[in-house]
Amino acid sequence: MGLQGHSINENIYNTNMKAFSLKILTLLAVLSLVMGCTAPSTSLEGTATRLPDQGPDETQASALAEPTESLLTATPEVTPTFTPTTTVPPEVVLEGELREALYQASLKFIADSPEAADDVARQIGFVDGVNESASNSCGPLSIAILKDAGLLPASTSVHDIWLFDLRDESYLTNILYREYFPPQEYDYYWHTESIRTYDFQANPLLPGDWMFLLTAGNGFDHMLMVTRLDESGSPYTVTNVDRGDGFTISEEKLYDTEAENKGLLYELSDLEIRLKLGLTGTGGFLLVRRKGGLASTPALNLDIDPGLDELVTWHILVKDIESDLILFESLPNEFFHPASMIKVPLAIVSLQILIEKGYGLSDLSALGYAGRTFDQLFNALIVYSEELAADELLSFVNENTYALGALINLGLEDTKFLPRSTTAYDLAFALENLYLGNYLPGEYNSYLINLMNVQTENDSQYLGVNKDGYPQIAFYNKRGLLLDPTIVSDMGILTISDKPYVVVVSGIPRFDGSATYEEIKDAIENFALSLRNALMVESSSN
């Protein structure tokens, strides 16, 4: 199995030549995408099944038309100019840039000796930074390459993919789905056919594809990802391989589009070659591919870093409501304790019960529960984050409905009131639907959002620093803070010149980290300022 690492063997490449090559290769990548040279079909047929049902989407680039020569002026010295009749779509440019970034990132991990490969494994640091080996580093290596290319968030763990077992369904749901490849953003293709007989020519691999190869018997499972295509469309990977003299990390052609049965996939599944070294892929494989291609990678993952990556576990989701695009994410599908942020879903469920009972908004000041009016309870819950109000409203909910079922009806299938648990996806979904008015009728919807906008002492901190000095920015939020255990969170509906976004951020010290409340709070505020600047640039460009 393979490892992952960071800037390895960079001294091999001359800095000036790398910069020049990067520009040339990026240009070639973009041109090849536009001309259709290296954009094979993304259909995956045969024994594949998909989770979820949505199939892969491939950006179709229109070919550049032949340039037309401009009319010459009467002055003979003027050089003729040529103007293309079409422009390259921005998503095609982005796809080319990300493909090039992926290829360049993969080169940093190449190690041509077992000793050097072990050093790469240790620099990846997927266990403790000391005892790693190239022999069992395939999963961490694949994730490290994706991280270095900006295709996964910087805070993504390289440890949790180590010793990953696809045969255990809990690994699939708790690790692949939750930590690495959320099914909301990735397609899962399952193949029971051996990689040796599967028709990759008809169903080609693409850059960024992640694969888990299963062995049918005497062998080992293996993880790798596709790092690039050559001019003929043949895919490559950078992975750990043992050919009898110990594991090295090398760039390998997976299969050859111009020759049958050539490439690493055929070598690893060849009984005669691998009898003593072990087979892989003979029991089929799982392929994971980002929906919409690399260009659908959250646009700000490379531009914004929440900081303290090694000391804090970050659960983050930033979404553009109008475009329905995720702009930034970190562990958006992983469960975490939301602290007081759970009070927004609690308020929504409580208000829905009152609506079902036929009460109008004016009744909230007259009717009550547990010795207070409902208006007083909601103010205490949302504005002042009172825990007693949360307990009383949760009792009200439980007396009138099945709380877990009520959350599921909101579309929050990963959220619980007791014990408090949720995901960044669920909280962002709740905020988005609250903004769109999908949960509550008009006056009730405005009532809750206005409570989130009531200014209190600390509203200019955390994500609230976004508003400082910018009258065109509004932020309707709910913080969630605990000191034991330490949880520092904030979420809300952010509008910039009336353009709406949802933002969810929660920072929790890692089990082996020493991050303090103040450090996490400072990191959230730095993140908020970076996010504001990025969104302001986007807003001005539109």
The tens place of each residue's pLDDT in the chain, 542 residues long, gives 433 333 333 333 333 333 334 433 443 343 333 333 333 333 343 334 343 333 333 333 333 233 333 322 333 344 444 445 557 788 888 899 999 999 999 999 999 999 999 999 999 999 987 889 999 999 999 999 999 999 998 888 899 999 999 999 999 999 999 999 999 999 999 999 999 999 999 999 999 999 999 999 889 999 999 999 999 999 999 999 999 999 999 999 999 999 999 999 999 999 999 989 999 999 999 999 999 999 999 988 877 876 666 789 999 999 999 999 999 999 999 999 999 999 999 999 999 999 999 999 999 999 999 999 999 999 999 999 999 999 999 999 999 999 999 999 999 999 999 999 999 999 999 999 999 999 999 999 999 999 999 988 888 899 999 998 899 999 999 999 999 889 999 999 999 999 999 999 999 998 767 889 999 999 999 999 999 999 998 766 65
> Is 346 in contact with 394 (CB distance < 8 Å)?
yes
What span, in angstroms and rounded, lies between the C-alpha atoms of 34 and 61?
Answer: 5
Please say whether the dihedral angle defined by the alpha carbons of residues 252, 257, 263 and 268, taken in this order, is positive or negative.
positive
> Is 444 in contact with 347 (CB distance < 8 Å)?
no
Please say whether the dihedral angle defined by the alpha carbons of residues 405, 173, 185 and 161, taken in this order, is positive or negative.
positive
What span, in angstroms and rounded, lies between the C-alpha atoms of 412 and 290?
Answer: 23
| Residues 6 or more apart whose Cβ sits within 8 Å of residue 210 | 142, 146, 180, 181, 223, 224, 225, 287, 288, 289
> Is 289 in contact with 208 (CB distance < 8 Å)?
yes
Burial of 371 (0-12, 13-18, 19+ CB in 10 A): exposed
E runs forming strands in 307-440: 312-320, 325-330, 368-369, 372-373
Please, where are the H alpha helices in 410-511? 424-436, 442-453
- Supply the Cα-derived Rg of the chain in whole angstroms: 26
What span, in angstroms and rounded, lies between the C-alpha atoms of 227 and 236?
Answer: 6
CB atoms within 10 A of CB 168: 11
CA-CA distances (angstroms) from residue 351 to 356, 403, 476?
A: 9, 13, 18
What span, in angstroms and rounded, lies between the C-alpha atoms of 228 and 66?
Answer: 28
- Would you state the pLDDT for residue 308? 62
311: helix, coil or strand?
coil
What span, in angstroms and rounded, lies between the C-alpha atoms of 223 and 212?
Answer: 5
Domains annotated for the chain, with CATH where assigned, are 10-55+89-290 (no CATH), 312-541 (3.40.710.10)
What span, in angstroms and rounded, lies between the C-alpha atoms of 293 and 151?
Answer: 11
186, amino acid identity? Y
Q: What angle do CA 189, 195, 200 make, to 5 degrees?
A: 70
CB atoms within 10 A of CB 159: 14
What span, in angstroms and rounded, lies between the C-alpha atoms of 530 and 542?
Answer: 19
What span, in angstroms and rounded, lies between the C-alpha atoms of 179 and 181?
Answer: 7
Please say whether the dihedral angle defined by the alpha carbons of residues 96, 97, 100 and 102, taken in this order, is positive or negative.
negative
CB atoms within 10 A of CB 418: 10
> Is 321 in contact with 436 (CB distance < 8 Å)?
yes
- Would you state the pLDDT for residue 63? 31
- Would you state the pLDDT for residue 539? 66
CB atoms within 10 A of CB 431: 30
Q: What angle do CA 222, 224, 225 make, to 5 degrees?
A: 160
CA-CA distances (angstroms) from residue 413 to 36, 385, 407, 431?
A: 42, 24, 7, 15
Q: What angle do CA 306, 160, 188 make, to 5 degrees?
A: 95
What span, in angstroms and rounded, lies between the C-alpha atoms of 514 and 532?
Answer: 28
- Would you state the pLDDT for residue 541? 64
The pTM score is: 0.78
**Helices 138-148 and 114-124, axial angle in degrees (round to 10):** 60
- Would you state the pLDDT for residue 484? 86
> Is 336 in contact with 444 (CB distance < 8 Å)?
no
37, amino acid identity? C
- Would you state the pLDDT for residue 47? 39
Of 120, 115, 176, 163, the residue nearest 144 (C-alpha)? 120
> Is 478 in contact with 339 (CB distance < 8 Å)?
no
Burial of 530 (0-12, 13-18, 19+ CB in 10 A): middle
CA-CA distances (angstroms) from residue 11 to 15, 232, 412?
A: 9, 30, 49
